[in-house]
Structure 1
Amino acid sequence: MSTETPDNKPLRGRICLVAGATRGAGRAIAVQLGTAGATVYVTGRTTRDKVSEVGRTTETIEETAELVTAAGGEGVAVPTDHLEPEQVRALVDRIDRERGRLDVLVNDIWGGEHLVVAGFDKKIWEVDLTDGLRMLELGVKSHLITSAAATPLLVRNPGGLLVEVTDGTQEYNGTRYRENVYYDLAKNAPIRMAFGLARELEPAGCTAVALTPGWLRSEQMLDHFGVTEENWRDAAEKLPDFAVAESPVYVGRAVAALAADPDRARWNGRSLSSGQLAKEYGFTDADGSRPDAWGFIVAKEKDEGVSVDDYR
């Protein structure tokens, strides 16, 4: 299904908020919305003057906003800690004051990778309680605060879209245990949130979905493997399954396709993946491939001999 207009800017005039857009999926989603012509407010805790607990100085929300503008949209950086209700309400008030509407809300707030590494494959009594509760704050509480503050503006006009970004689909997460109990809760909660918010937004003509990328080649993941986006396949020599990884562009294009689809309400309440939507809307990753990481992961559980090549 094509979602493009003749000038290739199907989201021209749309106002979007990508919460958690400093790097990774959030940054790519913001840029792809900008590529489609949208005005995108981008938030996060790392700026050119301040670094969040993630500890990375190489990506900032100001840079994300500049990338959005360079892509053809309008990027607006607003430093925001989404665990602080007053900051989030101030952000929404600013969008209302400056634009008078909100068409797309993307909840991509996280920043807890360092906590997952510390608690990977550990029992609940082996994980530091402070770290575990922080995962829930970052992955659940921040999403609730943002949705509570922003949905009144989103539902003001029919056609709004709310995207809860997570890790894993309902089909996969619903029958498998994810790393440790805190991470499992943090990544299942957005799926359930989208399900519930879909019911609450539907009477206003708005849509809510959960969306997961596959094995994401984020900046942090590339650094972890000691590779770059240019030579990322070298990491597959150490871990062959990494060959099914996708760039953040892929999930960015998934959100842009959803936002541009006039029939997106058919997805209301659903748990979706970037690979699934690529098949539906016809987009590809930055390299022209169409990876299906979750399809590969499930297939490999049944057959160790499955080939990555069949899922790219």
Structure 2
Amino acid sequence: MKPLNGKVALVAGATRGAGRGIAIELGAAGATVYVTGRTTRTKRSDYNRPETIEETAELVCDAGGRGIAVQVDHLDPDQVQALIARIKDEHGRLDILVNDVWGAENLAEWNVPVWEYSLEKGFRMLRLAIDTHIITSHYALPLLIESNNGLVVEITDGTAEYNAKNYRLSLFYDLAKTSVIRMAQSLAHELSPYQCTAVAVTPGWMRSEIMLEHFDVKEENWRDAAAKEPHFIISESPRFVGRAVAALAGDPEVARWNGHSVSSGQLAQVYGFYDIDGSQPDCWRYLVEVQDAGKPANADGYR
């Protein structure tokens, strides 16, 4: 079954990580997916990673959807405006917008107080995390609201409940990820008159390309990383949050989530989907009840 047949999606920031996983799963559900990012096979961004938007588009096609790669810097309003004009010209509609632009891992410095943090790096992080989402929404939402029942997903790190109680490792990172949650809440109010829905979604501890490299493992043997970091046993693949977004997009009653902040693990319990290894990791409950509580790593009952 292809519940998203005929639907058009834009995954802004789909070169790698959560964006790639989301694009693949939207494609698997039958959607046409525009995948954007700065790195192509002929030109890398200053991020200097090997993953490309063309690879993501091909993976979308392999999954059963239609992937369309478009090089876009989402900090450039003209490029974003041109992207939306192209989507309107080619399909006349936009049903799903996923704001996943991030690309600031190389700017993060954990447990460094603001007076020691590089202002240049900190403000760049905020621009990548927040300005990109606002610019994209500014140009994309007029097209999305024409469809009625459109869906906006803001991808972040952490739920509103968790972030309200926990310092997220640096002032700039904390602001970046918490602001995206608030953005979804604000969009929920602005979109309600148009029968559209905005939701903030967080993956758990995600096995992105960068994270796998960090632990010197691949997806096939990711459990070996637990030797370095025992709590990595709660981690999930990028496809898990992808299945969370696809479940939301295919839900005729998705409006019940308007303005909410939810995790991939929470949505898996509601919609009954699983990660690619057949498990249902509930990372944020694990963090509170096991890791933050200082208990030994043990994922029994959490995946």
Q: Which runs of 5+ in 1 are unaligned?
A: 1-7
The structure 2 residue matched to 1:257, chosen from 247, 255, 262, is 247
Give the superposed CA RMSD: 0.8
Residues 195-216 of structure 1, C-alpha deviations (whole Å, 9 max, x = no match): 0000000110000000000000
For residues 303 and 279 of structure 1, what CA distance do their matches in structure 2 show? 25
> What's the CA shift for 1:55?
1.2
Q: How far, CA to CA, are the matches of 2:113 and 2:95 in structure 1? A: 41
One of 101, 104, 112 as aligned partner of 2:96: 104
The CA deviation at 1:302 is 3.3
CA distance in 1, matches of 2:67, 2:267: 25
2:232 pairs, out of 242, 259, 283, with 242
User: Which of 128, 138, 146 is the aligned partner of 2:118?
Assistant: 128
Residue 81 (1) aligns with residue 81 (2): no
1:69 paired residue number: 61
Of the three residues 16, 20, 37, the one matched with 1:27 is: 20
SS of 1:295 mapped into structure 2: helix
Partner Cα distance (1:217, 1:183) in 2? 19
Matched residues in 2 for 1:211 and 1:66: separation? 25
1:15 counterpart letter in structure 2: V
Q: How many residues were matched structurally?
A: 302
Which residue identity lines up with residue 279 of structure 1 in the other structure? Q
Cα offsets for 1:102-142 (capped at 9, x unmatched): 000000000000111xx211000111110000000100010
What is the TM-score of this pair, normalised by structure 1? Answer: 0.96
Whether the aligned pair in 1 keeps the contact of 2:130 and 2:180 (CA below 8 Å) is yes
Q: Name the counterpart of 2:131.
A: 141
Structure 1 counterpart of 2:173: 183
Aligned to 2:151: 161
Q: Is the 8 A contact 1:299 1:306 kept in 2?
A: no
- Partners of 2:301 and 2:106 in 1: how far apart? 32
The one-letter amino acid of 1:295's match is R
Partner of 1:126, secondary structure, is coil
Please, which of 28, 32, 45 is the counterpart of residue 39 of structure 1? 32
What displacement does 1:306 show? 6.6
Aligned to 1:49: 42
45-54 or 101-110, which moves further after superposition? 45-54
Query: Deviating runs (4+, > 4 A) in structure 1?
Result: none
Q: Deviation per CA, 1:10-51: give whole Å up to 9, x if none.
A: 000000000000001000100100000000000000100111
Deviates more, 1:122-131 or 1:295-304: 295-304
Q: Please state how far the C-alpha of 1:305 moved relative to its aligned partner.
A: 4.3
Asked if structure 2 preserves the Cα contact closer than 8 Å seen for 1:222 and 1:228, the reply is yes
Three-state SS of the structure 1 residue aligned to 2:97 is: strand
Q: Deviations over 1:248-306 (max 9, x none)?
A: 01000000000000000000000010000000000000000000010100102235247
Check if 1:302 corresponds to 2:284.
no
Q: 2:58 and 2:192 mapped to 1: Cα distance?
A: 34
- State whether residues 24 and 219 of structure 1, in contact with CA within 8 Å, keep that contact through their aligned partners in structure 2: yes
Structure 2 runs not aligned, ≥5 long:
none
Q: Is the 8 A contact 1:247 1:285 kept in 2?
A: yes
Aligned partners of 2:233 and 2:297 also within 8 Å: no
- Separation in structure 2 between the aligned mates of residue 306 and residue 42 of structure 1, nearest angstrom: 36
1: CA distance, partners of 2:169 / 2:127: 17
The 1-side partners of 2:89 and 2:156 are apart by: 30
Aligned-partner residue type, residue 141 of structure 1 = D
2:142 alignment partner in structure 1? 152
